Chain A
Amino acid sequence: MMNDETKNIEKIINSEKDYKIKFKDFLHFLMFTFKKQKYNAIIYTIFLLITASITPIFTYLWTKYVDYATIDFNFKMSAIFLVIYVVIQMLVEIFNFLYLRILDKLNCDSWRSLDKTINLKSSSIQYEFYEVPKIQTIINRAWNFSHGEYIELYQNAMYIFKLVFETIGIFISLFIINPIISLICIITIIPAFITNFIRNKIRILNNIKLTSLYTELDYYKNVLLKQEGIKDIYINNSFNLFEKKYNNLKNEIFNNEIIIEKKIKRLEIIEFSIRIISLCICILLIGYFTMIQLVTYGSLSSSFVLVTTLIFNFTSLIESTSLILTTMYSIQQYNNLIDINGSTEEVEKINDFGKICFSNVSYRYPCTDKYVIKELNLEILKGQKIAIVGLNGSGKSTFVKLLLGILTPSIGEIYVDSINIKKINKMNYWNNFSVIFQDFCKYKETLRYNVGISNFSDINNDTKIIECLSKANFNKEIDLDTMLCKEYGGIELSGGEWQRISMARAINKDGKVYILDEPNSAIDPIEETKFYQRINNICKDNTCIFVTHRLGSVLFSDLVIFFKDGEIKEIGKHDDLINANKDYAKFWYSQANQYK
């Protein structure tokens, strides 16, 4: 690791913590949910209490029903208790339905707020993190957590609450029938929980081991469903390749899983047997008590019901806890994203965007050790039109990103109006730029959205958007609310039309500095000439920076900067550089000669 500014980024991104089971995080999550949903949570708790207290009532009613039938042979009384029992049962059912509704609502809302946190976080972390492939994995994992494990965690936690309350009710009922039995029941849970813990640990460790394989599997499953690249698959007839890759990987994962599964199932069988046998002992004991007439047939029948419910509850309880345990480690997936924090010293504001000054700037991408920009010194004056040219990989795009402040120099500083851009509030800083990136975004949204997004306070201002579109020479007569993709029932645009939209987007932003990062790769020649003229008209007194390798555009610039290997090799007016007859001239003639 090299000792420069970039190492901060590296430090943060490599500080990804190992997965551990942390109850604290889990509790934190539950609180997170409840805090957002106070009323629902309170109602939910009341529900739980009622659920717990209803079981002894049921037991009482059932015992009475059987007792009147078996001891007094009294049909009337027996039937009355039976009807009451069933009616309450039905009420509970309706009650349960309401409970589920509230739970659903609770789920939905808490889930959305978690998604929101992730979305906000990933759209606000420093861009520089995105240059490391790992960040996408971290984000995807956090998102997957929110959409998979979180729901599981949360729902199971809720379910466990319910089960625990219910089980307490059952214990109380059993205690009323016979205290010894309820004691035995409690003891039976302990071994089951121990084996449960062991088996989950095995599963968790295995899951963590296989995480990356799962991501890969997911990719292969969906690659045929992604519209980008499908043409290549069609024309190379390589459906087979993806099919095979998926199948092999799936088998690999399966072979891994099945070994673990065998172990787990064995433990499960042991666990199950212990549980059932000890519960059977309870039943036999009650049977014995019935025989010696310590308890009635009614109680015997009730305890059958209770024990069956108890078995069911135990099974569910263990399943839910095991699910929670196996997924609890995944909270770390979420925390890994949330823990990423960039610099916060951005307080200064700039009003007038004047001189830009690069002072001895070097840059390397995080997690690489080659400087792609080397000791760069440069001054850009207000209103200058600058063309940046150079070979691929010579650092042009990196230069632009540094200027935009989305990358921070590893060494050296960049000043705007003598203020270090590190200290400038980024929102404020970015408001000054209108940028067309090489890989500008093609949002699968309406035309309005695509243009208005750069200045969303005016997104409903039709006149402004239409004006921007006409300035960008977008002539296709379509409604502003037309979807720009077939997928969502709209139309498909060509590359050139998209380019014009991206230009309209830049115009809409109305920045003080225009940056065009190889904007013309999809434009035809006549359009190209017009494009440069248009840009010149729009920029007027504004600073304007073209990055290009179609050299025709340099004629519209005051200053040409020729990049090679991360350094400025030549700088000056086009004519001067041609006369100097060095690398740039060679570069120029290679293209110009095609037209002789």
Chain B
Amino acid sequence: MKNTNVIKILGKKKKFYYINCILSIVYGSCAPFSILATSYFVNSLSQINDNELFNMIVPAIILIVSYLLPIVDIFIDYNNNIINNQLDIEWNTYVSEMISKIPYSEYENQETYDKIKQISENNLYIKKITFAQLIISSVTNILLFAYILVKASIILLISLMIVTPFVGFFISKLAKNRYKANYEINLNRRKTYYKSSLLRDYTFAKEVRINNSASYMVKDWENNQKVLDKKNLNIKMKYGLLSKFISNFEYFIVLANLIIILVLFLNEYISIGLFIGLSTNIFSIKFLTKFSRIVDLNKNIKLLNSTCCSMKDIIKNDNQNPVSISKSIKKIEFKNVYFKYPKSTEYVLNDVSFSCSLHEKIAIVGENGAGKTTLIKLLLGLYEPTSGHILLDDIDISQYSNEDKAAIFGVSFQDYGKFSMSIRENIMMNDKMFNENDFEILKYLGIDIIAQNFEKGTETILGKNFGESVELSGGQWQNIAIARTLIGKKSVYIFDEPTAQMDPLREIEIFQKIITKTFDKISIFVTHRLGFTKNVDKILMIKNNSLCEVGSFDELIRIKGDFFRLYESQKNLYVQENVNDE
């Protein structure tokens, strides 16, 4: 967490904050003021006679004012609305910047992900501002009370103050434990939510019905929810009981105080007005409750702050690289790359070395789970190799910033993102408009025809999340994903199973189109359809987590290795004689 000054962030809204600070002082002084007003009123009441009624006007007005004073709360609330909106936006900016700096491999790490989620859900800025206002009003409140009490008798103040530090310590400990306890059941909470979402989500609706599994799922969810509810209630019970203990403890102090006040009054140390004013309002002083609120919030802020700070270690340093990075890559090189996931011992990729240069088309083939997608993630710098180097134009991939990579790579993943945004935003992935080149690509891929079906054209919102959005078919979505890859002038194109959901005619058409568009660049295909590999310059065959064969189609067929076997088996499906023989 950068040490940001929240007030600075407010910018032009600063004045609302300052006004609120002043109003908080007024708000804090309401209760003490009303004690004084009451005592003044009662004193004047006890001293006048029937015919001097107009002498009561001033005390009465003061009393009314003291009751009206809390009206400032409405203004504070209004100003906070304005401030909080600003802070919400700033926090969102902060969070999304933070996520953009977290390496993807860390994002996949559950622990980090939990932290991100926690940070995103708790706006530290707003908490800090609330805290500041709370402090201001409480301090005013306590000081004025203290003044009144001291005026009455110093013993009152001492008896109230003496226990405060102990209770404060106790409360802060409580706050921390509560926070922890709540954090611990987080996973439970998420799981339970997931279980219930299965029953309501479109993606699961078909199978839930066909398999008649709704009754089981409901039961499963309900059991989990019951356990969760019980845990929640226990936490509430435990900490509720403790805080009740504190507030009851406060009653003892109040009782002691009231008796002191009584004694003081009977011995004529204080006036009847102050006696009534104090004894009426002493319940509302609640030093400890105020104090505990402050401590509680403070602890909360501290814990959140430490979570934010812990993200600092994860965030990769912005390398102020002096190396000028060219956006048009001419060569990619893998040098003895090994990779394993941080906590596992098994290597997902073993000693991978290859290189490819401009105008080359590469196909990566291999069985499921062989490590094809991992290879792509490494190339994109989403994972860092455990050892070895990945060089783009002889510069290590880690030297490239996110922006550089976005300008270099066009990628369509197997599980590409489907965002509930307009067609344009889904393709551009930024807020720019299409330019002429982009339109050409849209036309080229036939997206303009898809868009024509809708009233708003390329501004149509996709997906099923919003009422007015339109859902596309699998093939159409894939088209969008390919457009996303091809748009903008990239220098390396990567297609991870780009045509899995397309019919054959369309598949060939799309492959042809991709090849035509990317012929003068580097393009990498991950595919199962070996028929296609004839069209590429180099095939990388991955088997058992390492690169086993590299070469052109003809070369690999000639050596009759693993690739050959794989190819033949697929070919047999299309060559009828062979099948009929079997």
Contacts and interface: CB of A to CB of B under 8 A. Distances in A.
Q: Shortest 4 CB-CB distances between A and B: which pairs?
A: A229-B417, A594-B531, A496-B368, A552-B573
Given A229-B418, A240-B431, A496-B368, 16 more contacts: A82-B258, A122-B199, A122-B200, A231-B104, A233-B417, A236-B429, A250-B88, A277-B68, A280-B60, A301-B280, A393-B473, A453-B211, A524-B368, A529-B570, A555-B576, A587-B505
Interface in B394-428: 402-403, 405-406, 409, 411, 413-421, 425
B233 A78 contact: no
A291 B68 contact: no
A486 interface: yes
Contacts, number: 413
A127 B233 contact: no
B251 A235 contact: no
A255 to B, nearest CB: 9
Interface in A140-156: 140, 143
Interface string B556-576: 000000000111011111111
Contacts of A122: 199-200
B133 to A, nearest CB: 18
Contact of A549 (B194, B196, B503): B503
A73 B265 CA distance: 9
B187 A592 contact: no
B420 A219 contact: yes
Interface string B248-264: 10010011001100110
Contact of B240 (A100, A234, A495, A550): A100
A64 to B, nearest CB: 13
Given A393-B475, A443-B198, A112 B573 contact: no
Contacts of A540: none
A17 to B, nearest CB: 15
Nearest to B244: A97
B155 interface: no
A586 B505 CA distance: 9
Contacts of B104: 230-231, 234
Given A136-B465, A234-B104, A240 B259 contact: no
28 contacts: A69-B262, A75-B263, A90-B251, A104-B236, A116-B218, A130-B205, A133-B463, A227-B108, A228-B415, A231-B413, A232-B417, A237-B406, A239-B99, A241-B429, A241-B430, A250-B88, A258-B82, A265-B78, A273-B68, A277-B64, A291-B45, A311-B67, A392-B474, A435-B207, A443-B198, A549-B503, A586-B505, A590-B505
Contact of A522 (B251, B471, B500, B569): B500
A246 B570 CA distance: 48
B107 A230 contact: yes
Interface in A116-141: 116, 118-120, 122-124, 127, 130, 133-137, 139-140
A261 B81 contact: yes
A82 B573 contact: no
Given A123-B199, A254-B85, A116 B222 contact: yes
A175 interface: no
Given A453-B213, A524-B368, A108 B574 contact: no
B146 interface: no
Contacts of B418: 228-229
B74 A235 contact: no
A60 interface: no
A273 B71 contact: yes
Contacts of B232: 108
A11 interface: no
Nearest to A298: B276
A494 B196 contact: no
A308 interface: yes
B194 A115 contact: no
Contacts of A455: 211
Contacts of B211: 430, 453-455, 505, 509
Contacts of A243: 92-93, 96-97
B77 interface: yes
Contacts of A390: 503
A297 B367 CA distance: 92
Counting chain B CB atoms within 10 Å of each CB, the highest count among A79, A237, A437 belongs to A237
Question: Chain B interface: which size bin?
Answer: 35 or more
B382 A234 contact: yes
Counting chain B CB atoms within 10 Å of each CB, the highest count among A235, A236, A595 belongs to A235
A9 B93 CA distance: 43
Interface in B508-567: 508, 528-532, 534, 565-567
A524 B367 contact: yes
B513 to A, nearest CB: 15
Contacts of A7: none
Interface string A492-529: 00111100000001000100000000100111111111
A239 B60 contact: no
Contacts of A294: none
A488 B191 contact: yes
Contact of A73 (B200, B208, B266): B266
B502 A119 contact: no
A404 B100 contact: no
Contact of B203 (A66, A120, A305, A439): A439
Interface stretch (A282-290, A320-328, A349-357, A375-383): A282-290
Contacts of A522: 368, 414, 497, 500, 528
B241 interface: yes
Contact of A489 (B110, B205, B208, B281): B110
Contacts of A348: none
Contact of B531 (A90, A262, A489, A595): A595
A287 B413 CA distance: 79
A411 interface: no
B74 to A, nearest CB: 5
A586 B402 CA distance: 45
Interface in A47-106: 66, 69-70, 73, 75, 78-79, 82-83, 86, 89-90, 93-94, 97, 100-101, 104-105
Contacts of B120: 221, 224-225
A242 B426 CA distance: 11
Nearest to A453: B213
B445 interface: no
Contact of B262 (A82, A136, A301, A427): A82
Interface string B218-229: 100110011001
B323 interface: no
B45 A287 contact: yes
B247 A594 contact: no
B467 A212 contact: yes
A280 B65 CA distance: 9
A188 B405 CA distance: 68
A280 B71 CA distance: 14
B467 to A, nearest CB: 5
Nearest to B488: A236
A123 B214 contact: yes
A525 B506 contact: no
B473 A392 contact: yes
A406 interface: yes
Contact of A123 (B60, B218, B284): B218
Contacts of A261: 78, 81
A441 interface: yes
B50 A265 contact: no
B166 interface: no
B186 to A, nearest CB: 11
B42 interface: yes
A247 interface: yes
A90 B248 contact: yes
A32 interface: no
Contacts of B468: 212
A127 B206 contact: yes
Nearest to B377: A231
Given A233-B417, A261-B81, A594 B532 contact: yes
A241 to B, nearest CB: 5
A525 B566 contact: yes
A233 B429 contact: yes
